[in-house]
Amino acid sequence: MAKDPKLGKLTVYLYIPNIIGYIRVLMNVVAFALCFSNKKLFSVLYFLSFVCDGIDGWCARKFNQVSTFGAVLDMVTDRISTACLLVILSQQYRPGLVFLSLLALDIASHWLQMYSTFLLGKASHKDVKDSSSWLFKLYYGNRMFMAFCCVACEVLYIILFLIAEPHSESVIDVLLHAAKQSFLLSALVLSVLFGWAIKQAVNVIQMKTAADVCVLYDINKKQKP
């Protein structure tokens, strides 16, 4: 007996990792609604949403509920939440173009990577075994290393949001001032800066590699008889 397509669709929507994804979206909505009135609550909700990013992936593998919809929901939630925070930071620090440039790099690199994955017929954008970059392969090949870089990036942005003053100046000046007041904060910032820098380097490599795939696809397409 053939399965009802509507029932199958509903089943995918109700996968455990996808339900976690909906919760992530809700937490982010509440977090950004309260971001200026309650910075601490925002930071907690935002970080919990980010942690759930790892939990939903674990659940997808644990319960064999991996889905294309879940993967897209996961990435879209990541990109939008990070983008919103970077936009807020661009309004609190000068020059704001620094954060807008980071936003553009993040979206462009991931969009190109997803599209190049589609062109190559790969099942996942994390399949980079054929890449010539050791850093790129290390990032996507080692789950713990990738998690560290992603967490470091988000933690850095949260710290910058928390220590921002109503009329904050440059990012460097604010960080140096905060570091002088707390040794623990300075140690934390230094550690997350390393992971943040790695992630930005990977974004650049990812964007260039994916762009090359798109160009080669066009060249091969024109050469076919």
Which one from 53, 56, 74, 78 is the annotated catalytic residue? Answer: 78
What is the rounded CA–CA span in Å between residue 4 and residue 13?
A: 15
Cβ atoms of residues 77 and 21 within 8 Å? yes
Cβ atoms of residues 52 and 19 within 8 Å? no
Sign, Cα dihedral of 193, 199, 201, 207: negative
Q: Which amino acid is at 12?
A: V
Query: 78 an active-site residue?
Result: yes
Q: List the catalytic residues.
A: 78
